[in-house]
Amino acid sequence: MKFKFIKNPIKSPYFGKQYGQNVEPSGYYVNKFNGFVPEGWISGIAELKNPLIILINNETIVSWKFELSKKYKKKGRELTIHLQQIGYDGIITKYENGDIGEIIIFEPKMSIMNELPFTEEITEGYNVRTFLSTLDESELKWHFDEEDRIIVCEHDTDWQIQMDDELPIRIEKNKKYFIPEGEYHRVIKGNGDLIVKVKKLKEQIISPLPKLPTDATFVSQKVFPKIKAPSSSKISFKDIVKLTIDNLEGGYYNPTNTVKKDMRDSGETMFGMDRKHGSDFTSSQAGKLFWSLIDKDKKINPKKWVRYYKLDDNQSLKSKLIDIITNNWLIPKYNTLTSKYLTKEVKNFVDNDNILKYHLSYAVWNGEGWFRRFSKIINNAISRGIQNNTDLHKIAINSRINSGNIYIKKSGQKIKDTISTKLN
């Protein structure tokens, strides 16, 4: 049986024998949904195929736990394991008038409605998800996934799937659909339940385009024309460093002088180079030279080295620091990461597009994890046939704005502003 439930996420205090907690079977304790979710509680959908039904009344609302423990001579986790071995997957307590009391689910196969509108179980490498016909359409939200995946429905249905900026398409029986990581999409409710098998593809650093199994179809209806790199005057890496300093990273920062709580874990920073956390640069010969030049000038001009100082009155030193960042850190790091995470033809496309090059160059500052994520999104967009520069720019910027990280989100908006004023 499938049912909606509610649960207080705050763990109950332990009262031991008073409420039978010293012997009760372990599991996920919930109550059946009765049309109201108390403030702070969660709700969801669960399934029990063969629950043990225990009749209770006001006098046995606690004592049934002792009786069950006495019958099987076990308690807690051992009692649960024994009940599973004889075929039960949960317990439902029921009053004589039919009302449902406490429910215990031994191995939860459910979804929390606040997060996911489906039940899920893993079978033969697939995540099998069931969307009930009783769910509200508002629960089916636009979202993107953290990895590539294939979905297939093995029954007839009129439910639909829709990718961002495209028309919905009906989900066909036994047809495999490929959904790239980072692409916004949603499911549209039809009649009856929907059961889909989801295959999350193992992460690959790089693969040929389009990157999908031969028996799967892109949900997108777009074609795959041959990639042609845009022609434009190339932005230099030195210009990118200057743009990054002026629009994103700023000048000098010392955590000992800050009052911002969210910045106190940062190390001494100049032009986005963190002396504490950027150990790969700090410990290198270039990094040692970079910070030694700064330390030398700080001794000579200590009053100038305050927050946001950009060396605008010392262009000679500023130029030296920018050259070190550009030639000894950004260029080699960028080349390493693009070769690792972009296909050759996509890399060629990006290197000839000033905005995409700026976006991924700044991802070097953000860290390899973000660089990998942004690269996959661009790989997948181009593999789906998106060749229009403006569309790709939008996808790149949105991948930052919709990242879920407040700092990456802010950088997306700033890069968007920079595009409109300095890169077009």
> Which contacts (CB < 8 Å, 24+ apart) does range 95-100 have?
95/55, 95/56, 95/57, 96/55, 96/57, 100/31, 100/32
Please name every residue paired with 196 in a beta bridge, in sequence order, or none if there are none.
129, 153
So what's the pLDDT on residue 108? Answer: 59
Average pLDDT, the chain: 82
So what's the pLDDT on residue 204? Answer: 41
So what's the pLDDT on residue 1? Answer: 78
For 2, other C-beta atoms within 10 Å of its C-beta total: 15
The residue that leads in pLDDT, 165 or 163, is 163
So what's the pLDDT on residue 227? Answer: 44
Which CATH architecture describes the domain 116-218? Answer: Sandwich (2.60)
pLDDT per residue as tens digits for the range 381-418:
887 777 788 888 888 888 888 777 788 888 888 888 87
So what's the pLDDT on residue 161? Answer: 92
Instruction: Label residue 203 by pLDDT band (50, 70, 90).
Output: very low
pLDDT per residue as tens digits for the range 211-227:
445 555 555 544 333 44
Among 100-114, 124-138, 280-294, 325-339, name the one with the lowest average pLDDT: 100-114
| Share of residues in the chain with pLDDT > 90 (%) | 35
So what's the pLDDT on residue 198? Answer: 92
The residue that leads in pLDDT, 223 or 257, is 257
- Quote the pTM value: 0.51
How far does CA 101 lie from the centroid of its chain?
37
> What residue ranges do the domains of the chain occupy?
2-110, 116-218, 237-423
